[in-house]
């Protein structure tokens, strides 16, 4: 099992969600986050005093998938979230040891 | 004539009383003349009509009653007991207008200024500036009731520097007009109107010292400052015996003019603010940590309210709903719109973006600069005033401040002191009797000639008084109470440490 | 005559008058250069003040002419009650835009665009003040062109506008106040358009569009409807070709801005992600505050349009209150019936719709009619916003078309049906054969002309602006939000606890 963590531009969230659903992947956790990578922050000026915003708003998506679906999920996210411009974000894939569905106590891939 | 507010207050006050009390009996007494003591002569129909006509034009309703023997100066007097129902009564149009104007000036502070300043500080200090505005409103109201109004608008001291004691605790201030200041507005309304000016002036100062002065220290500072700076200055500029009241006081040493408070309100608060913020020192981390405004939305809302409320401030300063008020309203609108647009345009030219803060700052600067001149200048001059108001404070806030590195947190100095000073000066250049005939009596030899010199003298005196007094008061308060909160308290934010509250508690969705 | 409102000359004249009358009683007249008004005439002048009448009427002789030089202290002076009321109304109409409309619209957009709509309101205010001072007032309320379509050039740069009344428009209100009052209408009208194109139009393009639009649409339309020589000014211009009525601006303000907004939003296209990404209002709290301010300010707009504190103003105040409240309640009730929830946005939209619909009618209809009008104002714009918009899929971001164009059009028509001379005596002169009969037909003509002018002019101006500087901001800027890309600021920086 894999845990896929994707950091994307906020306005791409809806497209990524729809694309993943179309690819048969249901369920995700979304968090509004801030961060920076190669995309630089920007500078705001308030009556002459500068205010540099280093951290830009992004959305973090977490999706747990079975090993077979991981590649397809990553491709889907990348395709849907791409604008080709700097600041599109990143996708991280991590091994996942255990998954438990709280309601039924199911464990492993059937709980994903 | 009407223009010189009468020098016979006692007589007028008696008249006011007789009119108020004996209005009904007056009609009844007209036909039979066989009353007990020498019966007051009845007014003629002519005199009564002229009294009503005086109401329309904000004139003196007693002018036509002056048909008695000449006094020692050769002026006709009013025969004893002669009065009309128009004398000593407030006129509904003028009085209603002034009540609403009073509410509008309060609206400028609460919530206008509180939002304007509140939006410009950081989240952790938003409530502290609001509390300071509210605290000042309460404190100044008490001072004003007890002694303030009397010290500014009384005249028992017969002094150019302070008023008198006759109105302490608002004694004798009722709904009859005080004809030294307005023929058709109740004196209690006039005193409340002037109270709102006394509230907003110290409230302006907190912009410079925001986020780092103890609440108790602010209250103590304001308490003393009102007595040492505001009250004497307001008497000098607006009191009927005032040193700098060029329009109404024929014996004024400095023949300056200030329609709605360029010196009294904006220069005094702005220059005091500069001194106080220098004595106080900058905020922790100033120049290293960014301190952006936490909500330009609130700031913009406050700006709109300031603009709307300022009509009460400027047009209301005519103390009548007359042509002078109408002119002040017009020049205020034009200057503000142009200044707002100019400031933003300068930003667009210098860095490619016109900001909301720029529009707001420009609007406030326009309002400040036009304040001393609004009732004295014509609409074309107002456009020039607007242009200057967009330019000069813009340079003060963006260049001067970064050059000298004082921490005038919300630009009280840059906007109010610089703007007020510029405004006071150009009022001397643009003022014309063609929009305000009151300039053609005591000042007819000065307006359009050396008025700007008189304005410079008034500016100098205001500057010196504000600076010297603020230095003394600030060090006094520092010695007794201390000015600043502890370092930890400042880091945590004044909302929690001074007031035990938080401005926003958004997260609790449970 | 113009000097009369100045105390000094007025009193001089008064004493002359007094002197003359005394002498007249005694014996044959001394050579009196100025004929003195009788006491009767002076009292009549004062009585005219009470009822907002013409103070000069009593000075006319049997032939209906005022003898040369005859005047009274009431002539040519503003009356304090009326003038003071109009100053406050002017402040109230400004309050509708700053900060009322800015908050109403600002709350309805997303967080990243809140400052952009505020900046647009502020920018339009500054721009229109300059235009109005230079040309606007004169082009609308001047009459040197003697044209039904545009005013004149005599008041360019506000020349000659002082505190004396312009009796073409108000007997007791200073002309400079009248000019400022009308200025506030000229500010809010283009600011209403902002709602349809929010979150995606460049700031510079908004200002350039507004500057052109004022000259091509607003100034001519305002003159046609309110100018003393106007084409559609049925109440005051006996020679008006279209005998329509519009008390406070149903055609001039709401229809013109609403229909222009529709055309502009079609030409500029929908926001990125419109229909796919949800774009909920970022703060209904701000929207509610803005609605309250709009309602309060609207009393200046509607009652003030009587240009006096008289009985017509009082009636307009009453009908405005009833219509706004009932429309708010109706909109909320319809939501409750259809969706089982009455929303804050629904109640706010209903209040604004009620205010819009009653605008052209408020000074002409009875309170009873305003109740019925309120119900329709809650229902028709509700259907436009909830049914028409999804059906046609245009992106009228904040429903300027649905509320202002649909509401303004509805209001203009209903005014034709409900107007009655019983509440407004001015309908019994030039329009006495029209009111209650064919007025609705005249209203239809006025509506048609307004729609044609707004739609055609907006299409042409938008096309030109798009060609020269472009209407839309870049995709990146739109994604990032106009607050930063156009203004370099953020609306809220709540987290920085440093």
Using pLDDT thresholds of 50, 70 and 90, give the confidence band for residue C49. Answer: very high
Q: Is residue B507 part of a domain?
A: no
Judge whether residue C8 has pLDDT over 50: no
How far is it, in rounded angstroms, from Cα C280 to Cα C110?
7
pLDDT of residue C1: 37
Highest mean pLDDT among A8-12, A35-39, B10-14: A8-12
**Distance (Å) from the alpha carbon of C179 to chain B's nearest alpha carbon:** 8
Question: CA torsion angle for A77, A79, A84, A89 (degrees, to 10)?
Answer: 10
A15 touches chain C (CB under 8 A): yes
CB contact under 8 A, B360 and C8: no
Q: Cα separation of C126 and C118, whole Å? A: 13
Chain A touched by C484 (CB under 8 Å): yes
Is A42 at the interface with chain C, CB within 8 A?
Answer: yes
C368 has a chain A CB within 8 A of its CB: no
Report pLDDT for B477. Answer: 97
- Would the pLDDT of B30 be above 80? no
pLDDT-based confidence at residue A39 (cuts at 50, 70, 90): confident
Residues B301 and B440 in one domain: yes
Same domain as B396, residue B300: yes
- What is the band of B27 on the pLDDT scale with cuts at 50, 70, 90? very low
Lowest mean pLDDT among A85-99, B199-213, C28-42: C28-42
pLDDT tens-place string over residues C284-324: 999 999 999 999 999 999 999 999 999 999 999 999 999 99
Mean pLDDT score across all residues of chain B? 91
Amino acid B12: pLDDT:
46
In a domain, B505, yes or no: no
pLDDT band at C278 (very low <50, low <70, confident <90, very high): confident
| C328: CB partners within 8 A, 6+ apart | C347, C348, C350, C351, C354, C378
Kindly report which listed range (B444-448, C153-157, C492-496) carries the lowest average pLDDT score. C492-496
Say if B442 falls within a structural domain.
Answer: yes
Q: What is the largest CA-CA distance in chain C?
A: 93
Cβ C490–A85 below 8 Å, yes or no?
no
What's the CA gap between B212 and B492, in Å, rounded?
A: 11
B194 and B225: one domain? yes
Mutate which of C95, C106, C124, C163 to disrupt the B interface (most B C-beta within 10 Å)?
C163
Same domain for B198 and B333, yes or no, is yes
Kindly list the residues from chain A whose CB atom is less than 8 angstroms away from the CB atom of residue C484: 42, 44
Candidate from A11, A44, A85 with C-beta closest to C273: A11
Query: What total number of domains does chain B contain?
Result: 2
Average pLDDT over residues B441-463: 95
From the list A44, A47, A51, the residue facing B361 with the nearest CB is A47
**Any idea where the domains of chain A sit in the sequence?**
2-111
CATH (domain of B298)? 1.10.3430.10
Q: Measured between beta carbons, which residues in chain B are less than 8 angstroms from residue C82?
A: 93
More confident residue, B465 or A26: B465
Q: Do the interacting molecules here have an ipTM over 0.90?
A: yes
Determine contact: A45 vs chain C, CB below 8 A: yes
Are B146 and B244 members of one domain?
yes
Closest chain B C-alpha to A42 CA, distance in angstroms: 13
Mean pLDDT throughout C241-265?
96
Q: List the one residue out of C217, C198, C301 whose CA is nearest residue C259.
A: C217
Between A and C, how many CB-CB pairs are < 8 A?
A: 23
C489/B356 Cβ within 8 A: yes
Same domain, B82 and B102: no
Contact B157, B164 (CB under 8 A): yes
C496 and B333 within 8 Å at the Cβ level: the answer is no
Domain final residue pick, B42, B70, B89: B89
Is B509 a member of any domain? no
Residues B175 and B69 in one domain: no
Q: Are B188 and B274 part of one and the same domain?
A: yes
Q: Whole-angstrom Cα distance, residue B432 to residue C203?
A: 39
Is the same domain home to B493 and B394?
yes
Contact B293 A49 (CB under 8 A): no
Asked if residues C48 and C55 have their Cβ atoms less than 8 Å apart, the reply is: yes
In a domain, B504, yes or no: no
C-beta atoms of B326 and C174 within 8 A: yes
Pair (B78, B125) in one structural domain: no
How far off is chain C from B338, nearest CA to CA, in Å?
6
b/e map C476-496, b = 16+ CB within 10 Å: eebbbbbbbbbbbbbbbbeee
Residue C63 is predicted with a pLDDT of 86
* B165 and B58 housed in the same domain: no
Residue in chain A nearest B289 by alpha carbon: A51
CB pair distance less than 8 Å for A14 and C278: yes
Residue C30 has pLDDT above 60, yes or no: no
Share of chain B above pLDDT 70, in %: 92
Q: What is the pLDDT of residue B75?
A: 86
**What integer pLDDT is reported at residue A57 of this predicted model?**
83
Q: Give the pLDDT band (50/70/90) at residue B6.
A: very low
Chain B contact for A44, CB < 8 A? yes
Higher-pLDDT residue of B15, C406: C406
Q: Out of B66, B89, B112, pick the residue that ends a domain.
A: B89
pLDDT in tens, B217-255: 999 999 999 999 999 999 999 999 999 999 999 999 999
DSSP characters over B149-205 = HHHHH--TT--SS---STTGGGTT--SSB-TTT-SSSBHHHHHHHHHHHHHHHHHHH
Mean pLDDT is highest, among B205-219, B277-291, B393-407, for B205-219
Q: Is the peptide bond before C99 cis (omega within 30 degrees of 0)?
A: yes
Q: Does residue B422 share a domain with residue B352? A: yes
Domains of chain C with bracketed CATH: 2-59 (no CATH), 80-487 (1.10.3430.10)
- Which of B89, B115, B143 is the endpoint of a domain? B89
Q: Does position C233 have pLDDT exceeding 60, yes or no?
A: yes
**What count of residues does chain A have?**
112
Q: Which CATH class is domain A2-111?
A: alpha beta
B7-21, B483-497, C134-148, C370-384: which has the minimum mean pLDDT? B7-21
Average confidence (pLDDT) over B265-290 = 94
Q: Is A26 on the interface with B (CB under 8 A)?
A: no
pLDDT at position B33 over 60? no
B124 touches chain C (CB under 8 A): yes
According to the model, what pLDDT value does residue B284 have?
A: 94
What pLDDT shows up at residue C31? 58
pLDDT band at residue B198 under the 50/70/90 scheme: very high
**Residue A47 touches chain B, beta carbons under 8 Å:** yes
**Cα dist from C99 to B468, C122, C211, C264, whole Å:** 39, 9, 21, 24
pLDDT tens, position by position, C343-393: 999 999 999 999 999 999 999 999 999 999 999 999 999 999 999 988 888
Q: Note down the domain range covering B65.
A: 1-89
Looking at residues B467-487, what average pLDDT do you find? 97
| CB B495, CB B501: distance < 8 Å | yes
pLDDT of amino acid C64: 84
Give the chain A residue whose CA is nearest to the CA of C278: A14
Is the CB of A47 inside 8 Å of chain C's CB atoms? Answer: no
Residue B473 maps to a domain: yes
Please say if the pLDDT value at position B425 is more than 60: yes
CB nearest to B402's CB, from A44, A48, A51? A48
Average pLDDT over residues B321-348: 97
Confidence of residue B20 (pLDDT cuts 50, 70, 90): very low
pLDDT digits (tens, 9 = 90+) for B430-443: 999 999 999 999 99
């Amino acid at each position: 099992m894999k845990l896929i963590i994707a950091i994307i531009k906020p306005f791409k969230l809806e497209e990524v969600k729809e694309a993943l659903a179309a690819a048969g992947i249901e369920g995700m956790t979304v968090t509004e986050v801030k961060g920076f990578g190669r995309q630089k922050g920007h500078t705001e000026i308030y009556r002459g005093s500068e205010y540099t915003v280093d951290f830009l708003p992004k959305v973090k998506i977490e999706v747990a998938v079975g090993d077979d679906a991981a590649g397809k999920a990553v491709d889907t996210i990348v395709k849907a979230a791409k604008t080709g411009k700097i600041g599109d974000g990143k996708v991280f894939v991590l091994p996942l040891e255990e998954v438990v569905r709280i309601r039924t106590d199911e464990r492993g891939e059937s709980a994903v | 004539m009407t223009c010189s507010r009468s020098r016979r207050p006692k007589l007028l006050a008696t008249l006011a009383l007789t009119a108020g009390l004996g209005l009904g009996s007056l009609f009844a007494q007209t036909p039979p003349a066989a009353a007990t003591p020498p019966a007051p002569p009845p007014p003629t129909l002519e005199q009564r009509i002229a009294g009503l006509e005086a109401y329309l034009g904000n004139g003196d309703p007693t002018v036509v009653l002056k048909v008695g023997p000449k006094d020692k100066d050769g002026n006709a007097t009013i025969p004893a007991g002669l009065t009309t129902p128009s004398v000593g009564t407030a006129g509904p149009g003028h009085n209603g207008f002034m009540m609403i104007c009073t509410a509008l000036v309060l609206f400028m502070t609460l919530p206008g200024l509180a939002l304007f300043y509140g939006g410009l500080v950081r989240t952790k200090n938003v409530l502290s500036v609001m509390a300071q505005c509210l605290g000042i409103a309460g404190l100044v109201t008490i001072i004003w009731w007890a002694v303030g109004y009397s010290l500014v608008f009384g005249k028992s001291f017969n002094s150019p520097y302070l008023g008198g004691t006759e109105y302490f605790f608002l004694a004798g201030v009722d709904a009859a007009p005080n004809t030294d200041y307005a023929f058709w507005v109740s004196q209690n309304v006039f005193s409340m109107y002037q109270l709102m000016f006394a509230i907003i002036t110290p409230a302006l100062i907190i912009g410079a010292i925001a986020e780092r002065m103890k609440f108790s220290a602010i209250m103590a500072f304001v308490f003393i400052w009102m007595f040492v700076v505001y009250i004497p200055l307001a008497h000098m500029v607006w009191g009927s015996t005032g040193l700098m009241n060029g329009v109404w006081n024929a014996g004024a040493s400095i023949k300056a003019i200030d329609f709605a408070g360029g010196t009294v309100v904006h220069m005094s608060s702005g220059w005091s603010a500069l001194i106080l913020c220098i004595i106080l020192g900058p905020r922790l981390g100033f120049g290293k940590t960014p301190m952006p405004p936490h909500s330009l939305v609130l700031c913009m809302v406050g700006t709109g309210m300031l603009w709307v409320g300022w009509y009460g401030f400027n047009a209301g300063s005519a103390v009548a709903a007359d042509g002078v008020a109408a002119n002040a309203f017009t020049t205020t609108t034009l200057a503000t719109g142009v200044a707002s647009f100019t400031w933003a345009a300068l930003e667009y030219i210098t860095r490619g973006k016109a900001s909301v803060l720029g529009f707001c700052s420009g609007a406030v600067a326009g309002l400040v600069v036009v304040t001393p001149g609004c009732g004295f200048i014509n609409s074309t001059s107002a456009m020039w005033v607007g242009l200057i108001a967009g330019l000069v404070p813009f340079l003060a806030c963006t260049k001067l401040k970064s050059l000298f590195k004082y921490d005038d947190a919300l630009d009280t100095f840059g906007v109010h002191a610089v703007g007020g000073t510029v405004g006071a000066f150009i009022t001397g250049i643009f003022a014309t009797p063609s929009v305000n005939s009151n300039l053609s009596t005591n000042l007819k030899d000065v307006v359009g000639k050396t008025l700007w010199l008189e304005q410079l003298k008034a500016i100098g005196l205001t500057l010196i008084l504000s600076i010297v007094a603020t230095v003394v008061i600030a060090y006094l308060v520092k010695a007794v109470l201390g000015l600043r909160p502890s370092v930890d308290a400042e880091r945590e934010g004044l909302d929690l440490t001074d007031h035990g509250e938080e401005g926003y508690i958004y997260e609790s969705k449970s | 005559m113009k000097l009369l409102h100045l105390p000094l000359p007025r009193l001089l004249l008064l004493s002359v008058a007094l002197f003359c009358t005394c002498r007249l009683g005694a014996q044959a007249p001394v050579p009196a250069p100025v004929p003195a008004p009788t006491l009767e005439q002076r009292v009549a002048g004062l009585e005219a003040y009470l009822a907002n009448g013409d103070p000069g009427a009593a000075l006319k002789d049997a032939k209906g002419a005022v003898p040369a030089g005859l005047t009274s202290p009431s002539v040519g002076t503003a009356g304090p009650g009326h003038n003071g009321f109009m100053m406050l109304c002017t402040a109230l109409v400004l309050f509708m835009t700053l900060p009322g409309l800015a908050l109403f619209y600002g709350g309805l957009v997303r967080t990243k665009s809140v400052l952009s709509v505020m900046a647009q309101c502020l920018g339009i205010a500054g721009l229109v003040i300059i235009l109005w001072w230079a040309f606007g007032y004169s082009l609308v309320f001047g009459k040197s062109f003697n044209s039904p379509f545009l005013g004149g050039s005599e008041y360019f740069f506000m020349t000659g506008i002082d505190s004396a009344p312009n009796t073409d428009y108000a007997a007791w209100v200073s002309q400079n106040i009248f000019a400022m009052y009308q200025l506030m209408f000229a500010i809010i009208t283009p600011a209403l358009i902002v709602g349809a194109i929010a979150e995606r139009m460049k700031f510079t393009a908004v200002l350039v569009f507004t500057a052109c639009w004022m000259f091509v649409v607003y100034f001519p339309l305002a003159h046609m409807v309110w100018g003393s020589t106007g084409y559609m000014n049925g109440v005051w211009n006996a020679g008006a070709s279209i005998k329509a009525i519009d008390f406070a601006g149903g055609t001039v303000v709401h229809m013109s801005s609403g229909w222009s907004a529709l055309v502009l939003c079609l030409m500029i296209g929908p926001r990125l992600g419109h229909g796919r990404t949800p774009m909920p209002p970022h703060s209904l709290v701000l929207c509610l505050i803005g609605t309250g301010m709009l309602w309060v300010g609207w009393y200046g707009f509607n009652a003030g349009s009587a240009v006096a504190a008289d009985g017509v103003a009082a009636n307009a105040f009453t009908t405005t209150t009833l219509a706004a409240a009932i429309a708010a309640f109706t909109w909320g009730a319809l939501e409750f019936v259809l969706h089982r929830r009455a929303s804050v946005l629904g109640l706010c939209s209903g209040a604004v719709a009620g205010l819009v619909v009653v605008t052209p009618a408020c000074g002409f209809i009875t309170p009873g009619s305003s109740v019925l009008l309120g119900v329709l104002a809650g229902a028709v714009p509700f259907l436009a916003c909830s049914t028409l918009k999804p059906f046609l899929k245009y992106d009228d971001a904040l429903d300027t078309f649905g509320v202002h164009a649909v509401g303004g059009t509805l209001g203009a028509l209903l005014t034709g049906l409900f107007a009655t001379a019983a509440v407004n005596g001015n309908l019994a002169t030039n329009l006495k054969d029209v009111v209650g009969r064919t007025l609705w037909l005249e209203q239809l003509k006025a509506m048609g002309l307004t729609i044609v002018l707004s739609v055609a002019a907006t299409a042409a101006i938008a096309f030109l602006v798009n060609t020269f500087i472009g209407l839309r901001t870049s995709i990146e800027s739109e994604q990032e939000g106009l607050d930063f890309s156009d203004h370099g600021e953020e609306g809220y920086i709540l987290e920085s606890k440093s």
